[in-house]
A and B are shown apart, each in its own frame.
Chain A
Amino acid sequence: MYSGPVIDCDVHHARNTDAELIEYLSPGWRQYVTDRGPAGNVPLAVQDGLPNPHGFMRADTYPKGGGEPGSDYATMRDQLLAASDVRRVILTFGDDSHVAGHHNPYFASELARAMNDWSVERWLSKDRRLLSSIMVGSQLPDVAAAEVRRHAENPGMVQVMLVDNPFNRGFGHPVFHPIYAAAEETGRPVAIHGGAGGWANPPSTGGGSVSTYFETHVLWPQAIQTHLVSFIAHGVFEKYPRLRVVLVEGGSAWIPSLLWRFDTEYKGLRREVPWLKRLPSEYFASHVWVTTQPLEISPQKENVVELLRSMSLEDRLVYSSDYPHWDADEIDYLSTRLPSDWHRRIFFGNACRLYGWKEEDLAPPREAVRESA
């Protein structure tokens, strides 16, 4: 079992009530949301996905005092932070993360701004180990870029996160580039979280829509694959050579297969994308990172390991639990599925490289809890 330091790159923090977020809206938007009499608030979160038959949360993560999983710092601290040598956690929001699925682009931009302020004030203030994604309303890329730059001086806001897809175009499309310009300029990786292009906004899958959560969850990698191919083909890494991308919750065992095909297709179709200067797999190897959860389970565990090794993914994988979701991967479990000489890199070192941290600066969590918590 691995017992060394850990960086968890996908932890979903949530709010319990609309009021928590409404507090951070501008007065005008606050009135828009709340002033509906008996109709109640305008919905703040987009929720039109398929229902999970178990619910989306681990039953044991509901706070004892009530409220939603991921909404209570003390519960998260006890269940996640104190359970192992966690040095950093990257928060990735809950249902609110689907903000780019809102039809109203102005409302989405305001919500994203409010969510980020909520995250800074309600979470980052409690514990130095907690870091947050910057959510953006990618419906308005210039506004989204400004939101990224607004957090440039806050080291706790560590990455830009994309989930839903407002334009039905792969995320490499130039319409999204203002966001990447801001991400590169401010040194933030862009995280593409599973479900992108497939939760509130179609298409959820290639070939046709699905009928069950079972199907859509199996096929989550499809959207991630679309965005990865799009990023590379559009030359995003030529245009923004310091940009880093992290693929979150899309699995990893498919990556060798996709990159082998991608490289082969490039040899024949290069003239359609002559701005590319390297093989697609080479762009991947220098710009893209991948979170571990959910690690594919092969009947013989060495099969997955061999696949990952074939593309040197032991140097690109970063640990993620997905706490408090139903399909979270435990450190103890994951350490039994991966070779022990990979553990420190995947649980700690690779994430330090991804986010530009020095390992020695991430001290043990003795004094991590801030006084105000």
Chain B
Amino acid sequence: MRVDVGPLSDFEDHRVRIVNAGDLEVGVLRWRDRFFAIHNRCPHQKGPVCLGIVSGRLGGAAPGSMEVDEETPVLACPWHGWEFELERGRALWDKSYAVKVLPVSIESGRVLLEVGRSRD
């Protein structure tokens, strides 16, 4: 099922906007010209993961160094700080542990989410 969650102009760059899509509460992130949709429910303790901070992934090529990868947005759950990359929803420390992500498309200036059957 495709759900129209509003015009592009409703989505501010680098911000998550919470929308309802079917039975799900979903955070939609605009990251320049890319869009990501994440079920607002952390797999850890079911916290509102989309209320957390989004930033480019921090990495360190060597101990003591900090580099930002602006091409890889990461969401940190406000409960406990567990981080997930948004392309596939995977935890940064375990690829098999993930938040649920939904496909996003843009058509005629509208943001559309593909809502499947809820996994939980």
Q: Is there an interface contact between B62 and A275, defined as CB atoms closer than 8 Å?
A: yes
Q: Is there an interface contact between A274 and B58, defined as CB atoms closer than 8 Å?
A: yes
A238 at the interface (CB under 8 A from B): yes
Q: Is there an interface contact between A274 and B82, defined as CB atoms closer than 8 Å?
A: no
Between-chain CB contacts (< 8 Å), 24 pairs: A234-B63, A235-B62, A235-B64, A238-B62, A267-B80, A267-B82, A267-B93, A268-B80, A268-B82, A269-B81, A270-B83, A270-B92, A271-B58, A271-B76, A271-B81, A274-B66, A274-B67, A275-B59, A275-B60, A275-B62, A275-B63, A275-B64, A279-B93, A279-B94
B1 at the interface (CB under 8 A from A): no
Q: Is there an interface contact between B62 and A270, defined as CB atoms closer than 8 Å?
A: no
Q: What's the minimum C-beta distance from B94 to chain A, rounded to whole angstroms? A: 8
Name B residues whose Cβ lies closer than 8 Å to a Cβ of A.
58-67, 76, 80-83, 91-94
Q: 18 other contacts beyond A238-B63, A275-B59, with CB at 8 A cut-off?
A: A235-B64, A238-B62, A239-B62, A239-B63, A267-B81, A268-B82, A269-B81, A270-B93, A271-B58, A271-B81, A271-B83, A274-B60, A275-B60, A275-B62, A275-B63, A275-B64, A275-B65, A279-B94
Please count how many residues in chain A sit with their CB below 8 Å of the partner chain's CB atoms: 17
In the bound assembly, the distance between CA atoms of A276 and B60 in angstroms comes to 8
Instruction: Using A267-B91, A267-B93 as known contacts, say yes or no to A273 and B60 having CB atoms under 8 A apart.
Output: yes
Chain A contact surface mostly: helix
In the bound assembly, the distance between CA atoms of A279 and B82 in angstroms comes to 13
The answer, among B59, B61, B65, B81, for a CB contact under 8 Å with A268, is B81
In the bound assembly, the distance between CA atoms of A269 and B76 in angstroms comes to 10
Q: Is there an interface contact between B63 and A174, defined as CB atoms closer than 8 Å?
A: yes
In the bound assembly, the distance between CA atoms of A268 and B83 in angstroms comes to 7
User: Which A residues are in CB contact (< 8 Å) with B62?
Assistant: 235, 238-239, 275
In the bound assembly, the distance between CA atoms of A279 and B93 in angstroms comes to 7
Q: What's the minimum C-beta distance from B90 to chain A, rounded to whole angstroms? A: 13
A36-58 at interface with B (beta carbon < 8 Å): none
User: Which A residues are in CB contact (< 8 Å) with B65?
Assistant: 275
Q: Is there an interface contact between B61 and A275, defined as CB atoms closer than 8 Å?
A: yes
A259 at the interface (CB under 8 A from B): no
A231-283 at interface with B (beta carbon < 8 Å): 234-236, 238-239, 266-271, 273-276, 279
> In the complex, which residue of chain A has the Cβ closest to the Cβ of B69?
A274
Q: What's the minimum C-beta distance from B46 to chain A, rounded to whole angstroms? A: 16
> In the complex, which residue of chain A has the Cβ closest to the Cβ of B83?
A270
In the bound assembly, the distance between CA atoms of A270 and B84 in angstroms comes to 11
Chain B contact surface mostly: loop
Of the listed residues A174, A274, A279, the one surrounded by the most CB atoms of chain B closer than 10 A to its CB is: A274
> In the complex, which residue of chain B has the Cβ closest to the Cβ of A237?
B63
Q: What's the minimum C-beta distance from A261 to chain B, rounded to whole angstroms? A: 13
> In the complex, which residue of chain B has the Cβ closest to the Cβ of A269?
B81
Q: What's the minimum C-beta distance from B84 to chain A, rounded to whole angstroms? A: 10
Chain A 168-180 interface 0/1 with B at a Cβ cutoff of 8 Å (1 = within): 0000001000000
In the bound assembly, the distance between CA atoms of A279 and B64 in angstroms comes to 18
User: Which B residues are in CB contact (< 8 Å) with A273?
Assistant: 60
In the bound assembly, the distance between CA atoms of A234 and B63 in angstroms comes to 6
In the bound assembly, the distance between CA atoms of A279 and B59 in angstroms comes to 15
Of the listed residues B66, B81, B93, the one surrounded by the most CB atoms of chain A closer than 10 A to its CB is: B93
Q: Is there an interface contact between B59 and A274, defined as CB atoms closer than 8 Å?
A: yes
Q: What's the minimum C-beta distance from A222 to chain B, rounded to whole angstroms? A: 24
> In the complex, which residue of chain B has the Cβ closest to the Cβ of A177?
B63
In the bound assembly, the distance between CA atoms of A238 and B67 in angstroms comes to 16
A197-228 at interface with B (beta carbon < 8 Å): none
The answer, among B59, B63, B81, for a CB contact under 8 Å with A235, is B63
User: Which B residues are in CB contact (< 8 Å) with A235?
Assistant: 60, 62-64
User: Which B residues are in CB contact (< 8 Å) with A234?
Assistant: 63
User: Which A residues are in CB contact (< 8 Å) with B93?
Assistant: 266-267, 270, 279
In the bound assembly, the distance between CA atoms of A239 and B63 in angstroms comes to 7
Q: What's the minimum C-beta distance from A328 to chain B, rounded to whole angstroms? A: 38
Q: Is there an interface contact between A174 and B58, defined as CB atoms closer than 8 Å?
A: no
Q: What's the minimum C-beta distance from B91 to chain A, rounded to whole angstroms? A: 7
> In the complex, which residue of chain A has the Cβ closest to the Cβ of B74?
A271
In the bound assembly, the distance between CA atoms of A273 and B92 in angstroms comes to 13
Q: What's the minimum C-beta distance from A177 to chain B, rounded to whole angstroms? A: 9
> In the complex, which residue of chain B has the Cβ closest to the Cβ of A234?
B63
In the bound assembly, the distance between CA atoms of A273 and B65 in angstroms comes to 9
